Amino acid sequence: MTGTERRIALALAGTFSSRMLGLFMILPVFTLYATELEGYTMTLAGLAMGIYGFTQAIFQIPMGMLSDRIGRKPVIIAGLVVFALGSVVAAMSDTMIGVIMGRALQGAGAIASAVMALAADLTREEHRIKVMALIGISIGLSFAVAMVAGPILHGWFGVPGIFWTTALLAVGGIIIILTLVPKPVISRFHRDTELELNWFHKAVKDSQLLRADIGIFILHLNLMATFVVVPRLLQNQLGMDVANHWKVYLPVLGLSMLIIAPFIILAEKKRKVREVLIGAVLVLILSQIGLDLLSGTVAGMVFVLLLFFCAFNLLEATLPSLVAKLAPVAHKGTAMGVYTTSQFLGIFAGGLAGGWISQHWDANAVFIFNALTAAVWLFLAYTMRQPQYFSSQLLNLGEIDKTQAQILVKELTAIEGVEEATIIAEDGIAFLKVDRKKLDMEALYAYSAAR
């Protein structure tokens, strides 16, 4: 990538990850704080944690489509303003309803689709996958930072202080967009990053893609339901003050990232995605059973949380790659749109279910519920077919007509390592599935308009 492309990628990754950091920071502390709010019940506390996922799922696709019409930066800035407003509402509220309204507003500032589209506008097709990967990595890091920073900030300022910090992060994102990210010369529709309504029904009917969509739904359901109750167990059952919970999360998250690295390599380099996926879901189930049986001691809690985060981080890293392998390259944006909508709906369902179950039964019932939902996923993963191990590749061909496109499809598929080619003539883009171990890059880039 050029220096400009790297700067744009880092700026957009910083904007998006800072927003997610603000959303995640209340995860390890909110249910302890919620008891101080007027109208508190565990069901409402779980709803407050998960409601942003519901509004995010509703607004992310319309906001992306709106950015096609009025521009990317205005939509992103407006989304960040709404997000900041929601943070302020939540910070100033002393009732459960007020916090729920604030969290719903946070989710309504849905900028994911617009950020991805802006990244596509400002970077060349040949490097777009690197940019998207950088944004994805930044989101993963923001989750890890949030799990540690949340308890620390709670000890300093309380949960209202976390919401104020979140509002400041949104303002910082606005400044980044205004000062570091240029306005694209041309904004156009990008099939690899945006949703196509006329292909949407195919994405939701594809049985293999649907397995990944259900999987990410269940994974985030498990995450939210687990952290409705785990902070309460750490404080009430194990006697750990909330300000010290980071001492559990920091080593557990750090060690889990080291443990999963070889399995990510195994999945991608050794072509064992299906096997790694099945193993990770099985570990997720075992972690929930462990939380039910072993969380009565600090050592037991640390061990089962390590299992949980190993499974969660590995699945979070593996599933987007699986979707990319299963989806046609020219329609990957639609497949990812359905996937991320499923993720946010899982966040909502997990918060609500975790709160309701723990209110009417107990924490162990939440863990059993999680294990049962993960068992459904295990069956779906086991019956999934082995994906093709081809990578996505985009190539800008410049201005071509339909006749040239038909000729170029034959020529590109004749290149060693190119397994599939789709060319959209009006876009001037070739969407390719390639085997990187065999790919003749020199022959491929001979067709690049940039060259």
CATH of the domain at 190: 1.20.1250.20
Question: In the prediction, which pLDDT does 426 show?
Answer: 76
Question: In the prediction, which pLDDT does 184 show?
Answer: 81
State whether 166 and 211 are in the same domain.
Answer: no
Question: In the prediction, which pLDDT does 320 show?
Answer: 87
User: Buried b vs exposed e over 94-109: b needs ≥16 C-beta within 10 Å?
Assistant: eebebbbbbbbbbbbb
Domain that holds residue 189: 1-194
State whether 188 and 118 are in the same domain.
Answer: yes
The answer to whether 382 and 395 have CB atoms below 8 angstroms apart is: no
What are the helix and strand counts (H, E) for the chain? 16, 3
d(CA 275, CA 122): 37
In a domain, 215, yes or no: yes
Q: Is the dihedral of CA 230, 110, 138, 193 positive or negative?
A: positive
In a domain, 451, yes or no: no
Q: Among candidates 349, 404, 398, 414, which has minimal Cα distance to 47?
A: 349
Q: Considering its fold, how many domains does the chain have in total?
A: 3
Structure tokens at 371: 């294990």
State whether 153 and 252 are in the same domain.
Answer: no
Q: Which of 389, 407, 429 marks a domain boundary?
A: 389
Question: In the prediction, which pLDDT does 123 show?
Answer: 81
In a domain, 338, yes or no: yes
In a domain, 180, yes or no: yes
d(CA 36, CA 252): 29
State whether 132 and 176 are in the same domain.
Answer: yes
How far, CA to CA in Å, does 321 sit from each of 44, 204, 229, 314, 327?
Answer: 35, 18, 31, 11, 10
Q: Which of 167, 194, 221 marks a domain boundary?
A: 194
Question: In the prediction, which pLDDT does 124 show?
Answer: 74
State whether 156 and 184 are in the same domain.
Answer: yes
In a domain, 150, yes or no: yes
In a domain, 450, yes or no: no
State whether 154 and 293 are in the same domain.
Answer: no
Structure tokens at 218: 């269940």
Residues 212-216: contacts with CB under 8 Å, at least 24 apart: 212/319, 212/322, 212/323, 212/326, 212/339, 213/338, 213/339, 213/342, 214/342, 214/376, 214/377, 214/380, 215/277, 215/281, 215/315, 215/319, 215/377, 215/380, 215/381, 216/319, 216/339, 216/342, 216/343, 216/346
In a domain, 85, yes or no: yes
Question: In the prediction, which pLDDT does 50 show?
Answer: 95
Q: Which of 159, 194, 229 marks a domain boundary?
A: 194
pLDDT tens string 317-366: 889 888 888 887 777 788 888 999 999 999 999 999 999 999 999 999 99
Question: In the prediction, which pLDDT does 141 show?
Answer: 87
In a domain, 231, yes or no: yes
Query: What are the pLDDT tens digits along the chain (451 aa)?
Result: 677 888 888 898 888 888 888 888 999 999 999 999 999 999 999 999 999 999 999 998 888 888 888 888 999 999 999 999 999 999 999 999 999 999 999 999 888 888 888 888 888 776 777 787 888 888 888 888 999 999 999 989 999 999 999 999 999 999 999 998 888 877 677 666 777 777 778 888 889 999 999 999 999 999 999 999 999 999 998 999 988 999 999 999 999 999 999 998 888 888 888 999 999 999 999 999 999 898 788 999 999 999 999 999 999 988 988 888 888 777 778 888 899 999 999 999 999 999 999 999 999 999 999 999 999 999 999 999 888 777 778 888 888 888 888 888 888 888 888 888 888 777 778 888 888 788 888 888 887 776 5
The answer to whether 20 and 340 have CB atoms below 8 angstroms apart is: no
State whether 84 and 11 are in the same domain.
Answer: yes
Structure tokens at 60: 């992310």
d(CA 387, CA 389): 6
pLDDT tens string 291-319: 989 878 899 999 999 999 999 999 998 89
State whether 175 and 225 are in the same domain.
Answer: no
pTM for this model (two decimals)? 0.90
State whether 237 and 338 are in the same domain.
Answer: yes
Q: How many residues does the chain have?
A: 451
d(CA 376, CA 373): 5
What number of other Cβ atoms are within 10 A of residue 411's Cβ? 13
State whether 383 and 397 are in the same domain.
Answer: no
Question: In the prediction, which pLDDT does 427 show?
Answer: 74
d(CA 42, CA 432): 49
State whether 406 and 376 are in the same domain.
Answer: no
State whether 316 and 216 are in the same domain.
Answer: yes
